Chain A
Amino acid sequence: MKTAILTLAVIFMLLIKTASATNIRGQLVRNYNGMFYALPGVRVDLMVWNGQSWVDVSYAVTGNDGFYFFINLSPGTIFCINVFGRFYPAQSPLQVANVALQDVPVIST
């Protein structure tokens, strides 16, 4: 029994360790007369807080379904999204979670 618990604990620790890079996904849509349509081909900039200032570290281009992805981000990184000159969210930035895939809420322009 003890061996089994120990084995599970080790596997759990290994699983935690492997989840060291996070992929981020989000979607860009356009609100038109109350209907939402995916926005393709739009540049989405990833702004990261480096401890002193915001740095534009990378950008993605939305696909036909409006989705954009940033991959291999370190958990704990503070970030926000810059689209069409606006920074989302405006009030408080987001933080990369220690999960394999993190969703950023849909941005409706």
Chain B
Amino acid sequence: MNIDWNLFDKVLLLCFFILGPILPAYLLYKIAPDDKILGNGNFAGFKINATGATAIFIILFAALYPKIDTVLNTIDNYTRAVYNREQQPWKVVLRLRLMDDKSNPISLQDYQNYVNADSLIAIPRPMYVNTDKQTISFYLDNSVMSEDTVEGTLVMGHGFGSSPFKIYKKNLDMVNKIIKLSEVLQKVPTKNYPTIVNNSNVQHYDKSDGGRVPPLVKALLNPRK
């Protein structure tokens, strides 16, 4: 059963505003029933002229009445803020470092050429690239984050390859909904690759070596059979 907690809170609050002043009025009635406290004046267009416990009730209710709207608005704002935070997508900030080799990062100019919003392919789709901070930001829907792990892929050219990365649901910043990841990719060299472009004797696959369906795995797992 779905309970509308916002409505429930409001009803509870209204009950408090109405029933709250009854307690002091009741206490006055019990402790000093003959006390002649006088309450008179105009309230919400009505002329009031009461004494004793009734006067206490009316005075307290009249004092609380203007605050009802303010408190109801506060509840609405709070509910809206919670709802917005729940609906807000997760922001993933991936810090991507590209290295020429183990110790030397690529130049800033190369980085700007390789990692930019036009050329970068990633799943999920990147929304913002900051080459100064070397970060890529993208957003994940809450439905996606309901999985235990979310798998993304960074498809880089220029020797940096296609790199999968995982977003684990553990240790997440639930308040700000930001996930920070870090990835270091090292350039894969193309030298010493036996390319056919310059040497047609190199072993290669041509169309006849490709099938319309994937190969059978059995042969690889049981080579003797």
Measuring CB to CB, which residues of chain A are less than 8 angstroms from any residue of chain B?
23, 25, 27, 29, 31, 34, 36-38, 46-47, 49, 54, 57-63, 65-72, 78, 80, 82-83, 85-93, 95, 101, 103, 105-109
Contacts and interface: CB of A to CB of B under 8 A. Distances in A.
Contact of B193 (A70, A89, A103): A103
A67 B189 CA distance: 10
Contacts of B193: 25, 27, 67, 103
A95 B220 contact: yes
A67 B215 contact: no
A59 to B, nearest CB: 6
A101 B216 CA distance: 25
Interface string B201-222: 0111111011111111101100
Interface in B180-197: 185, 188-190, 193-197
Nearest to A91: B215
Given A37-B197, A61-B155, A87 B211 contact: yes
Contacts of B200: 34, 36
Contacts of A65: 190
A69 B195 contact: no
Nearest to A92: B219
Nearest to A86: B210
Given A25-B188, A54-B214, A93-B217, A70 B162 contact: yes
- The 8 lowest CB-CB distance pairs between A and B, nearest first, are A69-B161, A90-B211, A86-B210, A60-B162, A71-B161, A106-B204, A106-B196, A54-B214
Given A23-B188, A38-B197, A109-B207, 16 more contacts: A27-B193, A36-B196, A36-B200, A37-B197, A58-B155, A59-B153, A87-B211, A87-B215, A89-B205, A89-B209, A93-B215, A103-B194, A105-B194, A105-B203, A106-B204, A108-B204
Contacts of A107: 204-206, 210
Interface residues of B, number: 38
Nearest to B208: A90
Interface in B87-122: 121
Contact of A29 (B197, B212, B215): B197
B190 A25 contact: yes
Contact of A57 (B164, B185, B190, B203): B164
Contacts of B185: 71
A52 B219 CA distance: 14
B190 to A, nearest CB: 5
A69 B164 contact: no
Nearest to B211: A90
Contacts of B220: 78, 92-93, 95
Given A67-B159, A92-B219, A107-B205, A58 B210 contact: no
Nearest to B153: A58
Contacts of B209: 88-91
